Copies of this chain bind each other. A is one copy, B any other.
Amino acid sequence: MDLKTYLADRAAEVDAALDAFLPKVKEKPSSIHEAMRYTVFAGGKRLRPILCLAAAEACGGDPESAMPPACAVEIMHTYSLVHDDLPCMDDDDLRRGRPTCHKVYGEGMAVLTGDALLTEAFLIIAQTPAAKRYPAAAYVAELALTGGSTRLIGGQVMDLEGEGKKLTKAQLVKIHEAKTAALLATSIRLGAMTANASDEKLEALTTFGHALGLAFQVIDDILDVTQSTEVLGKTAGKDVAVEKATYPSVLGLDKARKEAAKLTKQALDALDPFKKKGARLREIAGYLLKREY
């Protein structure tokens, strides 16, 4: 199966699973379920869940078992976007080419929608079948640690606190590790765990996910200054406007591009132990990192 078909098929499977997991709009109160679905079905690429499923396959597992964590990480990612877009945070009106949650449903509802999605992510991940090495609670703990105050949320805190300040490269890397790379690496780890991955394999995939996540963020930063709002589907030039430190602003565009290439190589090298079984992950990484930048 070629990559394009693989990605489309997997995204459709994830969408179907998300639809089955999320409460129906007719469940009361309808307004919150409508808002949850508005944000989840806003045309995301399903990058994190696809990586989760592909990691399960790379470790010889059944993607079916990896579907609960795949959906949970996507929902956690979505909640973080809803809250980050709030007026009291990054104050963004546009996301994935559509008005953000608070623009459509109001601020109070957007806070509650994010809360509901975050809670739902845990309801879903609690349904992951235990593997020999990984009891059911291990998936919950992994997601909670990654989503918590030292990683996903901590990254947003550091991001807010860094606005208007001159950051070093080390500080910037710390923010992106916490804000982006951690959840990406966890998406991959959770998939591997459902396939009962050995410590060595889990370690290699963690390195892969980490480098991939950082590379992805460097490229996102570059695109924010080089692309238009129409192409991005979110407000372009936003980082510069709020004086947010980014790879291009800290390193310059040229060095930022080199950094992306270096991280991409790191990610691909980490897959060496998987030999042929790593082919799909290698392909996905190549696809993600070969966006025009």
Contact = CB atoms under 8 A, between A and B. Distances in A.
A153 B156 CA distance: 23
Number of copies of this chain in the oligomer? Answer: 2
Interface in A1-52: 23, 27-29, 31-33, 36
Contact of A119 (B32, B106, B144): B144
A112 B144 contact: no
A36 B145 CA distance: 15
B89 A149 contact: no
A127 interface: yes
B118 A119 contact: yes
A140 interface: yes
Interface in A119-170: 119-120, 122-123, 125-128, 135-137, 140-141, 143-145, 147-150, 153-154, 156-158, 160-161
A108 B160 contact: yes
Interface in A176-214: none
Given A32-B153, A149-B23, A112 B83 contact: yes
A172 interface: no
A69 interface: no
A89 B118 contact: no
Contacts of A242: none
A231 interface: no
A115 interface: yes
B111 A126 contact: no
Given A29-B157, A32-B153, A123-B144, 12 more contacts: A23-B149, A27-B150, A29-B149, A83-B111, A115-B118, A116-B148, A119-B149, A123-B145, A127-B141, A137-B137, A137-B140, A140-B140
Interface of A: 23, 27-29, 31-33, 36, 79, 83, 86, 88-89, 106-109, 111-112, 114-116, 118-120, 122-123, 125-128, 135-137, 140-141, 143-145, 147-150, 153-154, 156-158, 160-161
28 contacts: A27-B149, A28-B158, A29-B161, A31-B157, A33-B149, A36-B149, A79-B115, A83-B115, A86-B108, A88-B111, A89-B108, A109-B160, A115-B118, A115-B153, A116-B148, A116-B153, A118-B118, A119-B147, A119-B148, A119-B149, A122-B140, A123-B141, A125-B140, A126-B140, A126-B141, A126-B144, A128-B137, A137-B137
